[in-house]
Chains A and B, each alone.
Chain A
Amino acid sequence: MADSTQHAPLIKLKNISKHFGEGDTRVDALRDVSLDIYPTQVVGLVGPSGSGKTTLLNVIGCILEPNNGSICLDGDVVYDNRWLRGDLRHLRLEKIGFIFQFHNLLPFLSSAENVAVVLILAGFSADEANKRAVELLEYLEVAHRKDAAPAYLSGGEAQRVSIARALANRPRIILADEPTAALDSERASIVMDLLRQVATDQQAAVIAVSHDEKIFDRFDHIFHLRDGWLENKKSQAA
């Protein structure tokens, strides 16, 4: 694997803090978190329950505003010490793909439509969106289920469609929340291979929150969070 750190970081977090509540009820979810993630890297975000993993994912995904620090995504400053960029919805649509633990496919759309909807929201015509959706489903080897409703997909198929949707806009940042939790070992391994392939093909960075120790060795780096602190940084690839 090439040394991705030669490039500028795709995700750059500096001294990020986030707390909920005030006074006696104050909970520090993130404390002074700094990290850099580079193109083609697949990194894991692990830690016990309540350690701040989901909060960090939400902060990187522009869903949650931190209290302090700065965030730079793909060269764009999103947050800098209480200054927050305005068009976060557009930024999410353009730069970030989300993969969910339970797939979160829209139950009223077919597999292909679930992928196409992201492209249509981004301004593609229906024809273009459908064509690209089918291409992505082919790439993820699930095109034969393009007309199936999510309810009729297996767990592995649904996760592939979910990944296809996350890739639809060719985002450079992919955030995955427990992407293998609902899958058996074999399918989990296939999903991790896919994420690795996507990161390489699209020069993207993949961040996955996971409790699944079976896949820890598939990450380039693992960030451990405990009580909001980034505890250590272990490189698997180095």
Chain B
Amino acid sequence: MNLAFRDIRHNLGRFLLTCFGLSLLLGVVLSMIGIYRGLVADALTLVRAPNVDVWVVESGTRGPFAESSRIPGDSREAIARLLGVVAAGAVTYQSVETRHMGQKLRLYVIGSEPGRPGGPAYIVQGRPITRSHYEMIIDKRAGLLLGDRVRLGRNIFTIVGLTENLVSSGGDPVAFLTLLDSQELQFELAPPAARRELARGEGISNTNTVNAIVARVSPNVKPESVAEAARRWKHLAAMTQVGQENILTRSVVERARKQIGLFTSILLLVSAVIIALIVYTMTMDKIREIATLKLIGAPDRTIAGLIVQQALAMGTIGFGFGALLIMSIKDYFPRRVVLLPEDGLALAAVVIVVCLLSSGFGVRLALKVDPATALGG
């Protein structure tokens, strides 16, 4: 006869309500872990999108994501000729804000050369950019459709392709343009400003500037050697793909990562305290029943089992509900929520440990109950 199950069945409504409350709390913990994973995944997705081995940026910088970087566009030719480089492409990165259908639209614009590294790794709908100007590939997160037209700067771009899960570390959807269009968007001045510069004697500035050169390296060559060659002979900063990913995760999103990590830890602590309080209260509610059980000769292990099993059931059901809840609503979050099985299992293990520790308080209380409590009014 399982006393814990019988007691749960007797107070099923209250037990399920408690589990539901706990599930909301654990769901928030799980979603925070998912948001943290999503933040890192978004940052890495962006840097992995070009599918390259070496990043070459302005000397003395760690661009183009951690710092600004500007190098001449023709640096690509120099990098492409380095030993071991299979292909190289020039890229630009910039955040833009525009309006579309009366709504604010923030985009992270990447300019790349069609047919060279730097463009989208894959397109889920539509086609690649085939024209030199005014075509755009955009991520689905922007909420736009194929054929939609978006004004960026002084030009209007037609959406010809869609990508998926490609956003910046700030959560803005990525839009791909041709390098020429992106350079015009980033570096070309509006006519009045251009006239002012001309009047100052500055002349028409050269817009063939890019933020980085990305290169694919032959499988037989170490990316480190290509990066070293770029640093030594081309007087540019260069880093491997691994180095670039490390900069993003340890530098760009580090503070947000720590913030979320700390908040998740606090939430876990709050959850532990709440679980302990619930278990303690559940035990307090059963003092008379526990005293009766002791009086009729129930061993301590039966009473401890009643409390521990209920605490574990509450934790397990609460975690299960919470996980289901977050799984079902995670796609409605404004930023990507990545739920990894190992994170779920780790949280489940933490919940079980917390339940066991919390039930320790309840068991301690129960074992202290005087059987004489059962006697008298």
Contact = CB atoms under 8 A, between A and B. Distances in A.
Q: Are these two chains actual partners, yes or no? A: yes
Interface of A: 54, 57-58, 61, 63-64, 89-90, 92-94, 98, 100-102, 104, 106-109, 113, 116-118, 120-122, 126, 129, 149, 165, 177-178
Given A89-B299, A102-B377, A121-B298, A63 B372 contact: yes
Nearest to B6: A108
B375 A54 contact: yes
A118 to B, nearest CB: 5
B75 to A, nearest CB: 77
A98 B294 CA distance: 11
A16 B377 CA distance: 25
Given A64-B372, A92-B297, 4 more contacts: A100-B374, A104-B374, A108-B11, A113-B6
Contact of A101 (B10, B370, B376): B376
Given A54-B375, A63-B372, A101-B377, A107 B295 contact: no
Contacts, number: 77
Interface of B: 1, 3, 6-7, 9-11, 288-289, 292-299, 302, 370-372, 374-377
Contact of B7 (A61, A108, A117, A129): A108
A-B pairs, 3 with minimum CB distance: A93-B297, A108-B10, A108-B7
Contacts of A149: 10
B1 A120 contact: yes
A121 B370 CA distance: 19
A93 B296 contact: yes
A178 B376 CA distance: 8
Contacts of B377: 101-102, 178
Name which of B3, B7, B376 has the most chain A CB atoms within 10 A of its CB.
B376
A138 B7 CA distance: 26
Contacts of B370: 63
A199 B289 CA distance: 27
27 contacts: A54-B372, A58-B372, A63-B372, A90-B297, A93-B297, A94-B297, A98-B295, A100-B374, A101-B376, A101-B377, A102-B377, A106-B289, A107-B289, A108-B3, A108-B6, A108-B9, A108-B11, A109-B6, A113-B1, A118-B296, A120-B1, A121-B297, A121-B302, A122-B297, A149-B10, A165-B296, A177-B375
